[in-house]
Amino acid sequence: MNDILSKTMAIMILNRFVEQKREVAILLLFLLLILFGCCPLAAQQPTWESLMGTLVNDEEEGTEGWESAYDVLSDMEEHPLNLNTATREDFERIPFLTDQQIEELCSYLYQYDGMRSFGELAMLNSLDPIRRQLLPYFTYIDERQREKAFPKWKDIVKYGKHNLLVTAKVPFYKRRGDDDGYLGSPYRHSLRYSFNYGDYIQAGLTGANDAGEPFFKGRNKMGYDHYSFYFILRKLGRLKALAVGHYKLRFGMGLVMNNSFSFGKLATLSTLGRSGNDIRPYASRTAANYLQGAAATVTLMKGLDLTAFISYRKRDATLNVGNTSIATLLTDGYHRTEKEMAKKNNVSETVLGGNLRFFKGGFHAGMTAVFNSFDLPLQPNTNQAYRQYYPEGKHFWNASIDYGYTSHRFSFSGETALNDNHGLATLNRVSYQPVGNLQLLLLQRFYSHKYYAQHASSFNAGGRIQNENGIFLGLTWKPFSSLSIMAYSDYAHFHGQKYQAAAPSNAWDNLVSVTYSRKKYALTARYQFKIREKDNVNKSLLVNDITQRGRLAFNYDTGNWSLKTQADCTWNRYKQDSFGWMVHETAAWQGLHGKLHVAATIGYFNTDDYQSRIYIYERGPLYQFSFPAYYGEGIHYSLFIRADICRNLMAIGKFSTSNYFDRDHISSGLQLIDHSAMTDMELQVKWRL
pLDDT at 263: 64
pLDDT of 83 higher than 90: no
Q: What pTM was computed for the model?
A: 0.85
Q: What is the DSSP-derived secondary structure letter of residue 666?
A: B
User: Per-residue confidence at 506, pLDDT binned at 50, 70, 90?
Assistant: very high
Instruction: Calculate mean pLDDT across residues 474-480.
Output: 90
pLDDT of 283 higher than 70: yes
pLDDT of 32 higher than 70: no
CA 218 to chain centre: 33
pLDDT of 456 higher than 80: yes
Instruction: Calculate mean pLDDT across residues 459-483.
Output: 90
Residue 489: enclosing H or E segment and its boundaries?
Answer: strand 483-494
What DSSP assignment string belongs to 504-534? -EEEEEEEEEEEEEETTEEEEEEEEEEEEEE
What DSSP assignment string belongs to 266-286? HHHHHHTT----EEEE---SS
| % of the chain residues with pLDDT over 90 | 54
CA of 353: how far to CAs of 71, 289, 544, in Å? 26, 17, 42
Residues 265, 129, 262: CA angle, nearest 5 degrees: 25
Identity at 377, one-letter amino acid code: P
Q: Give yes or no for a contact between 659 and 687, defined as CB atoms under 8 angstroms apart.
A: no
- φ, ψ of residue 138 in degrees (nearest 5): -120, 5
pLDDT at 64: 56
- For the stretch 146-189, pLDDT in tens is 556 788 888 888 888 999 999 999 999 999 999 889 999 999 99
pLDDT of 101 higher than 70: yes
pLDDT at 273: 65
- For the stretch 606-656, pLDDT in tens is 999 999 999 888 888 888 777 788 999 999 999 999 999 988 999 999 999
pLDDT at 132: 82
Q: What is the mean pLDDT of the chain?
A: 86
pLDDT of 19 higher than 50: no
pLDDT of 436 higher than 80: no
- For the stretch 5-14, pLDDT in tens is 444 444 444 4
Residues ≥6 apart with Cβ < 8 Å to 581: 567, 568, 569, 570, 605, 606, 607, 614
Cα Dmax for the chain: 75
pLDDT at 50: 66
pLDDT at 78: 77
Higher per-residue pLDDT: 199 or 248: 248
pLDDT of 27 higher than 50: no
pLDDT of 145 higher than 70: no
Among 294, 308, 415, residue whose Cα is nearest residue 366: 415
What DSSP assignment string belongs to 196-231? EETTTEEEEEEEEE-TT--SSBTTBTTS-SEEEEEE
Higher per-residue pLDDT: 99 or 574: 574
Identity at 665, one-letter amino acid code: H
CA–CA separation, 297 and 234 (whole Å): 9
Q: Give yes or no for a contact between 83 and 114, defined as CB atoms under 8 angstroms apart.
A: yes
CA of 60: how far to CAs of 85, 264, 342, 486, in Å? 37, 8, 30, 19
What DSSP assignment string belongs to 328-340? EE--S----SHHH
CA–CA separation, 244 and 295 (whole Å): 7
Among 612, 368, 388, residue whose Cα is nearest residue 495: 388
pLDDT at 25: 44
- For the stretch 528-563, pLDDT in tens is 999 999 999 888 899 999 999 999 999 888 878 889
CA–CA separation, 425 and 257 (whole Å): 13
- For the stretch 315-362, pLDDT in tens is 999 999 988 999 999 988 899 999 999 999 999 999 999 999 998 888
Q: Give yes or no for a contact between 422 and 450, defined as CB atoms under 8 angstroms apart.
A: yes
Among 247, 209, 250, residue whose Cα is nearest residue 229: 247
Question: Exposure of 481 by Cβ count < 10 A (0-12 exposed, 13-18 middle, 19+ buried)?
Answer: exposed
Residues 415, 52, 211: CA angle, nearest 5 degrees: 90
| % of the chain residues with pLDDT over 70 | 88
pLDDT of 17 higher than 50: no
Identity at 242, one-letter amino acid code: L
CA–CA separation, 110 and 5 (whole Å): 50
